[in-house]
Amino acid sequence: MIVIGITGGIASGKSLVTTMFRDLGIPVIDTDEIARQVVAPGQPAWQRLREIFGAAYFHPDRTLDRAALAQRVFTNPTDRLLLESITHPAIFTEVERQLADLRCSSSPPPLVAIAIPLLFEVEAEARVDRIVVVDATPAQQRDRLQRLRGYTAAEADARIAAQMPLAEKVRRADAVIDNRGAIIATRAQVVDLVAALLREVKT
């Protein structure tokens, strides 16, 4: 079984490519989805965050106000590291549990993808066998952040600058999906990549 790590830059198209992998029948473990699960009310990580950051970062229904907390840690590296020290162990424990379930199933899949937006930043390279980076131009990232998330141009640029440069991620990738063109072109690249990996498993 080949474990594929899907990553890229903010708004480069990781979710689109992840969906394409799913459409091709590849099991996908999404760390963003897991991140929401581990901070659900009553979970150990939720309790720890409430103790450290306070009730101001929680909605009236006791769910975490992810946007408010993200804004705080974005401008405070110490708080960001503290947040990561609480959530990352819980996230990757669940990732490993899901991988183990797939490996031990009656029919283990030949390929499994893990969507890890900050794969390089959290030094998760050793957790996967292949790293796939979804590429886009800074202008496309900025446009998507403004149109789809309501960021100002300055906010979008700040978010892009806060991550490892996408060009560096491309340099360190095992494979690159160029998402700078039409969706049909992106899909064709994903199909070709999956086919190549399946051939590798069989050899």
**CATH number of 179's domain:** 3.40.50.300
Q: Which domain holds residue 101?
A: 36-108
pLDDT in the model for residue 202: 83
| DSSP state string for 38-83 | HTSTTSHHHHHHHHHH-GGGB-TTS-B-HHHHHHHHHT-HHHHHHH
pLDDT in the model for residue 101: 96
Which of the listed residues 108, 140, 172 is the one where a domain comes to its end? 108
pLDDT in the model for residue 36: 94
Residues 203 and 121 both lie in one domain: yes
Q: Which two tokens stand for residue 53?
A: 């950051």
pLDDT in the model for residue 15: 94
pLDDT in the model for residue 51: 95
Mean pLDDT, consecutive 10-residue stretches, the chain (203 aa), reads 96 95 97 94 95 94 93 89 93 96 94 96 94 96 92 89 93 97 97 96 82
Crossing angle of helices 31-38/77-103, nearest 10°?
Answer: 110
Which of the listed residues 108, 131, 151 is the one where a domain comes to its end? 108
pLDDT in the model for residue 47: 95
Report the number of distinct structural domains present in the chain: 2
Residues 17 and 67 both lie in one domain: no
Q: Where are the beta strands (DSSP E) in 139-200?
A: 175-178
- Which H/E stretch holds residue 191? helix 183-202
pLDDT in the model for residue 162: 85
Residues 23 and 121 both lie in one domain: yes
Distance CA 40, CA 46 (A): 6
Distance CA 33, CA 22 (A): 14
pLDDT in the model for residue 129: 97
